[in-house]
Structure 1
Amino acid sequence: MEPPMNSAASASRFLQRWLGADPARAGRLAAMAELSLSSIDFGAALEAEAAALPNGARLPMERAMRRLRNLLICAIIERDLSGRADLDEVVTAMSRFADFAVQSHLAELMAEMTAIHGVPIGAESGRPQQMMVLAMGKHGGGELNVSSDIDLIFVYPEDGDTQAGPGQRALSNHEFFVRLGKKLIAALSEITQDGFTFRVDMALRPNGKSGPLAASLNMVEDYLIVQGREWERYAWVKARAVTGDPEDIAALDAIVRPFVFRRYLDFGVIDAIRTMHAQIRAEVNRQERLHPERSHNVKLGRGGIREIEFLAQVFQLIRGGRDPALRERSTRKTLRLLAERELLPSDTVERLLDAYTFLRNLEHRLQYIEDAQTHTLPVSPEDRLAVARMMGLPDEATLLARLDEQRVFVAVQFDAIFADKAADKGEQAEPAAAFGPSVSDPENSGAIAQQLAGLGFDKPIDAAARLAATWQAPRLQTLPEASRNKLAALVNTALPQIATVVREAGLGSHAATLGRLLDFFEAIARRSAYLSLLTEYPHTLERVIRMINASGWAATFLTQHPILLDELLDDRGNAATEDLPLLAATLAGHLDAAAGDTERQLDILREAHHAQMFRLLALDLAGEFSVERLADHLSALADLIVHEVVQRAWLTIPKRHREVPRFAVIAYGKLGGKELGYVSDLDVIFLYDDDDQDAPGNYAKLAQRFITWMTTHTPAGILFDIDTALRPDGASGMLVSTVGAFERYQRSSAWIWEHQALTRARFCAGDAAIGARFEAIREEVLRQDRSGRERELREEVVKMRKRMHDAHPSLSERFDLKHNDGGMIDIEFIVQYLVLRHSYQHPQLTANKGNIALLRMCGELGLIDPALAQGAADAYRLMRKLQHQVRLQGQDNARVDPALVASHAERVVRLWHACFG
């Protein structure tokens, strides 16, 4: 922006009148305007105003405060129009002064009231009571206008009575604080010969103008729970206590927070804000029709300041319950957070911030002319030219062009979020509704089946019957009518999409996909926010259909955790899929924010794990991952969760003897081999190395809490099932072991099968020094020379394999990928045998590189036939892929047509005979 083209005095008639009334004011103005507004000591400045009378008399606070206010406004005008103050300095100074004025007047008035009536005392607590003055709107957000009123709410902690002494008249606490509130309003807003300090608006209090002027905490809680409306959630986002006892303020916050910020993703707020915005726009349009000269409303008009505020706050109301950082009161800070959270593109946020700055600066310049609370361009051409030049622009035409440019951009962004998706369909012809009240009518069943057949459904009669059954389900019949209508619209929109998805994918079944979708809808039907999300973002519904068509397991997972719908809104999470440090930092930050609230931390861990797993699932279904790469990601994610659970669970041990535990989690099985799947258990053992007398008990508690944190069912589900059977002495052994005891056990007592398990073990999380010792023990055990006991080794491995085979007899003609002869367990046992047999000569075999790499290595070393090694490796890769595909379809037992794997299984059997005879 170019520097202003004229002086402050010539642009502001208010400033001219103020200076003209007393020439001596010029010096005081110059002195204040030389200072950064953020450095003003309002207490000292008020004292200077109060003592300014030449005869030594003092002005009462009300007059001194008004004079200070006028001086501050003029200093702001001077600094702003001379380019010495930016928007942040201006709005921060005004917000600080409003706080100061409220606090100063309230303190004086409270002293006067208690002198007459005594101190108000809480009936329950017996504590003296203080009034909480809540700043709302731009004042609450620290972004107050120069000529704005202030929106306040008065709250007191408890009902009771004042403790009246001799000569004092007792009042109820309610009456006391109502009177105090009235006096405060008068002190701030009554017009005297010095003007006013602030106009005060109390319309945002519970029950508005018809409600009591001051409300107790209990009254506020009852009101918000029973009567609180959606637009009030928007207003209370910015509520900030300017006065009050910290304990009482915390109690109020505990009441307000769950009302404003829902614990689930609340997309229903979009429609509520859309409705409120439409009402505001209708009133602005009416006023502009009645008064054409009141055009270009920079606050409430199309693309104005209010639309930017709505854009910022809709994300706060949707997500603030899960992300405390988004509870920020400032519009500008919130916009920057939206860029950081990748909820809006960074370039869009920068343009919105530019528009906000331009519009707020323009709004101030409109108000500088007469110190009037106006948001529209002035009528006279002279004043419009003055405003243009205050904006650093040459003329009115340039100003209007810049204004239109900013408002058009804001309006486009606003519409992208708030445009009514149903209305957008407008002229499009809708197909006849197949889902709704008429679906239950037997006379309509044939027509609905015919309609589904026309869409391409393979079993239209079955699909029609399923639609009817779902509509008649008790869960849907007891829904509010609005939710039923929204659900019916979603299903009717989904039906042609199902036909398209099945046709384009070339897999799946219309009936199966419809059934999964209806199961999902039944699960979320009572959460209108989820229905709103799918309505507001139609592309998300299509993504849901594609995902559940491709995977029955995905459908079940999404039905169990519908909060993951958020992950389908866009692709913002996909780029960060492999950025585990970022995920770790974000997760740690959220857990830190919930310190002391174990229940919330459990949910945070589950939500983060499920969200990341769901991102991986989306990429997996899109063909972005091989089975091996997916397993690497899932294993790394599990490592991260294990690490955080150890750290957080330790902090819940009340008598922990050290701040950082000398404790480690060792992973076995699929996690140890980095071959984790979507629903794999975690096989782990716990080691510690600590001589403190409290160590055994505390680490046993830590292990137990680790298991509890992982396995407890919360509203967000569970993390992992935990299996500790591989610890020394199995189920009869101690839950935690010292490193020394583990080493002795592995050297002298462990069974061959336990050494087999050790081939896939690794340090997972905890104390790195213990991890290094474990790895050294593992290397030593695996590299033992077993050449003299080769026969015994073979026999033990074969014996263990037979036990597993007998425990899982083949009762089907289909091939069990895991347990049948030539299956995956045969391959894993072969590799484990080869590692135990040959590691003393070939130490590289102890590397935990996975079965495929180890088979190839054994072939290259000449330990087995290279062709058989390659054949077994190929078989293992194929079987893991098939197992993964079967699991994605929701089948627990990985069985396939034998013809798919016959040649591969034959190669595995040949390698087995080569190794074991």
Structure 2
Amino acid sequence: MSNPSLVSESRFYQRWIAADPGRAGRIGKIVGQPLSRLVLQEELATELAAGIPLPRAMRRLRNLLICGLIQRDLEGHADLAEVVDTMTGLADFAIRTHLAALMEEMVASHGQPVGHDSGRAQEMMVLAMGKQGGGELNVSSDIDLIFVYPEDGETVVTLPGQRQLSNHEFFNRIGKKLIAALSEIIEDGFTFRVDMALRPNGASGPLVASLNMVEEYLIVQGREWERYAWVKARAVTGAQEDIDALDAVVRPFVYRRYLDFGVIDAIRNMHAQIRAEVNRQERLHPDRSNNVKLGRGGIREIEFLAQVFQLIRGGRDATLRDRSTRATLRMLADKELMSADTVARLLGSYSFLRNLEHRLQYLDDAQTHTLPAREEDQAAVARMMKLPDVATLLDRLDEHRVFVASQFDAIFSDKNEDSSDPAHEPIDLESLESVEARLAALGFDEPAQAAHRLVSTWKSPRVQAMADASRTRMLALVTAALPLVANAAIEAGSGSAGATLGRLLGFFDAIARRSAYLSLLTEYPHTLKRVVDMMHASGWAATFLTSHPVLLDELLDDHAREAVPDFQVLAAELREQLGTAAGDTERQMDLLREAHHAYMFRLLAQDLAGLLTVERLADFLSALADTIVAACIQAAWETIATRHCEVPKFAVIAYGKLGGKELGYVSDLDVIFLFDDADQEAAFNYAKLAQRFITWMTSTTPAGILFDIDTALRPDGASGMLVSSVAAFERYQQNSAWLWEHQALTRARFCAGDAAIGARFEAIRDNVLRLDRSAKLEELKDEVLKMRKRMRDAHPNRTALFDLKHDAGGMIDIEFMVQYMVLRYSAAQPGLTLNTGNIALLRLCGELGIIDPLLAGEVGDAYRLMRKLQHQQRLQGQDNARVEPARVAPHVGKVQELWGKVFS
């Protein structure tokens, strides 16, 4: 509801109108629409047409605009977005306009500056930092600027009287003139106060810097707090080519390629310094209390909350690099890094505090962030906030600040406070006796052996070479971890605390030089417990996490760890991320690996928590592999310069474990490649695509590998073509394939690529499996038995244990029986060609009367148990899945009974 009387609360507004009553009419003409849409060039032209010099004209425009905003805001027509957008637009416009005029003047006097190396004409880049850079400028804020020119050189003199200058001196003079044009106080005041303190080396550094100087400074001297400042950096002027070059320099300084949790401590320290200065000022000037920007629970804490996530994750996720605090907070909710409710409340607090800040500044156009000392001014601010009195204003302010402070403390509070529990007292890792005594007191099963391992790790060259801060952090982590290790064995009721400690120390040794990982475990203590529990539960999990410590991030969020994976969402995310990294093959390969490892790690966490059956896990791992294969095919295709179409008519066919949807954590992929394309370049391009796909999958990058790839099942095996046309594949299967290749076809399916080719493959597979083999049943049986014997001979078991996979009565026997029955009976029973898995096919064979239904169920149960036992063994890091024969003897007997009946 309109409330025009509130405008009278602004003394600045009243003074400006009183100086020239005609200004009220001009304001009335512009406030009917959002001022962010105002064409500033036209408004400035009105002033210039009256013969007013540019500096005065710009100031008059600025005052007009601020008074217009005061009126629209206080009358309820403008929201926070319009106010900050308008002020940011004005600052950008003023900089560009003044710089263009100054550049013209300087070129006329000294010639055009040209780069030594490129020979290109030079333009100065004015970088807006702080709130202007983020598009959220205050009504009475100063502007933080940095001046950068592309490269050194000299001006080219072309006219008499021009005096040559170096590029540095040329732009240095322009910089000084620009500051004066914006900030000098003249008859109509100033346009913007200018702060240059954020430039390299601050006040002691040169006013302008070349791009090379900026790069060298950021690499050699750039400090942690400057990363926070440069998040907001935005080029207001300059050639796009130069802006892109600057961005390429700044991005790796601000955004690390890894998850940078060390930034939490850096921001915590910076915040402590700011708070100390605010507290000092409030002690010296009690009337300057309630600083809504820098005070406890103020605007700066909300900015820190948003930007800590940017600095931690922005190197890996480009969507978190937005310069706006509001946009970043919304993105945190979208990515579930903060709850939607928390983000909504933070945005509400941010709007309240920024609106209050503006009203403090509306009083006298002063750059202030604290409530005024005079009671009548406080009452005026309360009225502008549409609150009944100052007490209500203070209550509302306190409510928002308490909430913001609580959210800030949840992330930034120091996690290393001393505990009164003796078990958490820092351990003396220099004393073997002291360590052994501590471990014995905690209940370790072999304290002497565990103590020796712990002290040896601490005294290793890798740990001794760590920075003091990292060693201190690691000591705290070891101290905190020891009771967790002891409790893990007690809670599980099995396993060795010493073995878990050994795995954990191997992990600590691997991350010793990576302070970001030590910081993550320090800042999020619950993550350390999850690491310990995971390492106690599974030796393979310990090895996997040690190889990929970046996955620690996955342990932070319960929702992400427990959610059912959505592979359509993953596919969309991969398309976006791979598109963003187009042209950078190494980064694209890493993105695929990071995504695969993250999803696999979530499944591993659910697996260890008992949330997944072996069958369900295999389904998820197979679907994950399908998604990665599909993304890899399209991304690799786009790197082939000779490609003849945008979408390849190409498909990946899965065999083996992937084909049967029985993939495990470390399974390789058995695949073949088909295409259906009449273009003369097709065979060449698809062969190149297949080769590139294999390279992308199998190469070791900093993020590891994806899968080993086996293409031996393609037509004619290793001697055959890497890719086949669909027609050639069909002819081969109908006329030339060996029986064992048809046997392999029972577990084959379309995996990724062109769906039409996939449908044709499924039709070919169905026709081949349904061939009438009744005239050659003995030959069929002999070939299957010969193949089984070759496999058993290739994997001899010379132990007293039972090999779940290879021994007679084991899993391969079950798989061979199912494959044999599919080949023998599918001509009459087409339902057997469905790739539904061994247990389902056994049950179907029982229902069809091919085998005894009860025995079919018992063998299905045997297969399920053996897969579970094999899975448990592999989680403990054992390659050969062997168990005591007594554990599976009844089940083995049922398998052997069915074997005798099937092959009798």
Identify the residue that residue 280 of structure 1 maps to in structure 2: 274
1:720 matches 2:707: yes
For structure 1, the 5+ residue unaligned runs are: 53-57, 439-443
Identify the residue that residue 883 of structure 1 maps to in structure 2: 870
Identify the residue that residue 530 of structure 1 maps to in structure 2: 517
Query: What code does the residue aligned with 2:202 have?
Result: G
Identify the residue that residue 365 of structure 2 maps to in structure 1: 371
Q: What is the alpha-carbon distance in structure 1 between the residues aligned to residue 798 and residue 7 of structure 2?
A: 95
Query: What code does the residue aligned with 2:366 have?
Result: A
Of residues 345-354 and 582-591 in structure 1, the stretch that sits farther from structure 2 once superposed is 582-591
Q: Which residue among 550, 572, 577 is the counterpart of 1:590?
A: 577
Identify the residue that residue 806 of structure 2 maps to in structure 1: 819
Q: Deviation at 1:493? A: 0.8
Does structure 1 conserve the Cα–Cα contact (< 8 Å) formed by 2:371 and 2:378? yes
Does structure 1 conserve the Cα–Cα contact (< 8 Å) formed by 2:503 and 2:539? yes
Q: Please, what TM-score do these two structures have when normalized by structure 2?
A: 0.99
Of residues 891-900 and 106-115 in structure 1, the stretch that sits farther from structure 2 once superposed is 891-900
Does structure 1 conserve the Cα–Cα contact (< 8 Å) formed by 2:488 and 2:497? no
Q: What is the alpha-carbon distance in structure 2 between the residues aligned to residue 349 and residue 581 of structure 1?
A: 26
Of residues 589-598 and 196-205 in structure 1, the stretch that sits farther from structure 2 once superposed is 589-598
**3-state DSSP class of the match of 2:438?**
helix
Query: What code does the residue aligned with 1:32 have?
Result: I
- Counterparts of residues 154-553 of structure 1 (less than 5 Å): 154-165=147-158, 166-423=160-417, 425=418, 429=422, 431-434=424-427, 436=429, 438=430, 444-553=431-540
Query: What code does the residue aligned with 1:902 have?
Result: A
Q: Deviation at 1:5? A: 5.6
1:110 matches 2:106: no
Aligned in 2, Cα 1:309/1:866: closer, same or farther, shift over 3 Å?
same
Q: Deviation at 1:577? A: 3.0
Identify the residue that residue 668 of structure 2 maps to in structure 1: 681
Q: What is the alpha-carbon distance in structure 1 between the residues aligned to residue 898 and residue 139 of structure 2?
A: 84
Q: Deviation at 1:769? A: 1.1
Instruction: Name the count of aligned residue pairs.
Output: 903
Q: Deviation at 1:854? A: 0.5
1:856 matches 2:856: no
Of residues 795-804 and 472-481 in structure 1, the stretch that sits farther from structure 2 once superposed is 472-481
Q: What is the alpha-carbon distance in structure 2 between the residues aligned to residue 793 and residue 403 of structure 1?
A: 83
Identify the residue that residue 150 of structure 1 maps to in structure 2: 143
Q: Deviation at 1:264? A: 0.2
- Counterparts of residues 65-104 of structure 1 (less than 5 Å): 65-104=58-97
Q: What is the alpha-carbon distance in structure 2 between the residues aligned to residue 521 and residue 543 of structure 1?
A: 14
Does structure 1 conserve the Cα–Cα contact (< 8 Å) formed by 2:360 and 2:370? yes
Q: Deviation at 1:435? A: 5.3
Of residues 312-321 and 376-385 in structure 1, the stretch that sits farther from structure 2 once superposed is 376-385
Query: What code does the residue aligned with 1:110 have?
Result: M
- Counterparts of residues 889-908 of structure 1 (less than 5 Å): 889-908=876-895
Q: What is the alpha-carbon distance in structure 2 between the residues aligned to residue 515 and residue 447 of structure 1?
A: 18
Q: Percent identity?
A: 71
Q: What is the alpha-carbon distance in structure 1 between the residues aligned to residue 434 and residue 155 of structure 2?
A: 74
Q: What is the alpha-carbon distance in structure 1 between the residues aligned to residue 262 and residue 134 of structure 2?
A: 24
Aligned in 2, Cα 1:414/1:709: closer, same or farther, shift over 3 Å?
same
1:661 matches 2:659: no
Deviation per CA, 1:237-292: give whole Å up to 9, x if none: 00000000100000000000000000000000000000000000011111111111
Does structure 1 conserve the Cα–Cα contact (< 8 Å) formed by 2:416 and 2:476? no
Q: Deviation at 1:822? A: 0.6
Identify the residue that residue 42 of structure 1 maps to in structure 2: 40
Identify the residue that residue 546 of structure 2 maps to in structure 1: 559
Query: What code does the residue aligned with 1:216 have?
Result: S
Q: Deviation at 1:339? A: 0.1
Does structure 2 conserve the Cα–Cα contact (< 8 Å) formed by 1:131 and 1:243? yes
Identify the residue that residue 833 of structure 1 maps to in structure 2: 820
Q: What is the alpha-carbon distance in structure 2 between the residues aligned to residue 873 and residue 369 of structure 1?
A: 81
**3-state DSSP class of the match of 1:901?**
helix
Query: What code does the residue aligned with 1:594 have?
Result: A
Does structure 1 conserve the Cα–Cα contact (< 8 Å) formed by 2:27 and 2:67? yes
Does structure 2 conserve the Cα–Cα contact (< 8 Å) formed by 1:4 and 1:391? no
- Counterparts of residues 121-136 of structure 1 (less than 5 Å): 121-136=114-129
Q: Deviation at 1:915? A: 1.3
Does structure 1 conserve the Cα–Cα contact (< 8 Å) formed by 2:4 and 2:71? no
**3-state DSSP class of the match of 2:880?**
coil
Q: Which residue among 745, 752, 761 is the counterpart of 1:765?
A: 752
Does structure 2 conserve the Cα–Cα contact (< 8 Å) formed by 1:435 and 1:471? no
Q: Deviation at 1:9? A: 3.4
Identify the residue that residue 25 of structure 1 maps to in structure 2: 23
Does structure 2 conserve the Cα–Cα contact (< 8 Å) formed by 1:6 and 1:389? no
For structure 2, the 5+ residue unaligned runs are: none
Aligned in 2, Cα 1:742/1:641: closer, same or farther, shift over 3 Å?
same
Does structure 2 conserve the Cα–Cα contact (< 8 Å) formed by 1:814 and 1:897? yes
Identify the residue that residue 441 of structure 1 maps to in structure 2: none
Q: What is the alpha-carbon distance in structure 2 between the residues aligned to residue 435 and residue 704 of structure 1?
A: 55
Deviation per CA, 1:658-687: give whole Å up to 9, x if none: 111111110000000000000000000001
Q: What is the alpha-carbon distance in structure 2 between the residues aligned to residue 184 and residue 490 of structure 1?
A: 52
Q: What is the alpha-carbon distance in structure 1 between the residues aligned to residue 24 and residue 2 of structure 2?
A: 21
Aligned in 2, Cα 1:233/1:301: closer, same or farther, shift over 3 Å?
same
Q: What is the alpha-carbon distance in structure 2 between the residues aligned to residue 309 and residue 260 of structure 1?
A: 16
Q: Deviation at 1:149? A: 0.3
Q: What is the alpha-carbon distance in structure 1 between the residues aligned to residue 469 and residue 602 of structure 2?
A: 32
Q: What is the alpha-carbon distance in structure 1 between the residues aligned to residue 593 and residue 194 of structure 2?
A: 46
Query: What code does the residue aligned with 2:789 have?
Result: K
Identify the residue that residue 55 of structure 2 maps to in structure 1: 62
Q: What is the alpha-carbon distance in structure 2 between the residues aligned to residue 545 and residue 426 of structure 1?
A: 20
- Counterparts of residues 688-707 of structure 1 (less than 5 Å): 688-707=675-694
Does structure 1 conserve the Cα–Cα contact (< 8 Å) formed by 2:521 and 2:527? yes
Identify the residue that residue 51 of structure 1 maps to in structure 2: 49
Query: What code does the residue aligned with 2:630 have?
Result: H
Does structure 2 conserve the Cα–Cα contact (< 8 Å) formed by 1:435 and 1:468? no
Q: Deviation at 1:6? A: 5.9
Aligned in 2, Cα 1:210/1:426: closer, same or farther, shift over 3 Å?
farther
Q: What is the alpha-carbon distance in structure 1 between the residues aligned to residue 614 and residue 77 of structure 2?
A: 61
Q: What is the alpha-carbon distance in structure 2 between the residues aligned to residue 374 and residue 863 of structure 1?
A: 87
Identify the residue that residue 738 of structure 1 maps to in structure 2: 725
Does structure 1 conserve the Cα–Cα contact (< 8 Å) formed by 2:846 and 2:853? yes
Q: Please, what TM-score do these two structures have when normalized by structure 1?
A: 0.98
1:7 matches 2:5: yes
Q: What is the alpha-carbon distance in structure 1 between the residues aligned to residue 899 and residue 72 of structure 2?
A: 87
Q: Deviation at 1:574? A: 3.3
Q: What is the alpha-carbon distance in structure 1 between the residues aligned to residue 524 and residue 561 of structure 2?
A: 18
Q: What is the alpha-carbon distance in structure 1 between the residues aligned to residue 624 and residue 659 of structure 2?
A: 13
Q: What is the alpha-carbon distance in structure 1 between the residues aligned to residue 111 and residue 846 of structure 2?
A: 93
Q: Deviation at 1:899? A: 1.2
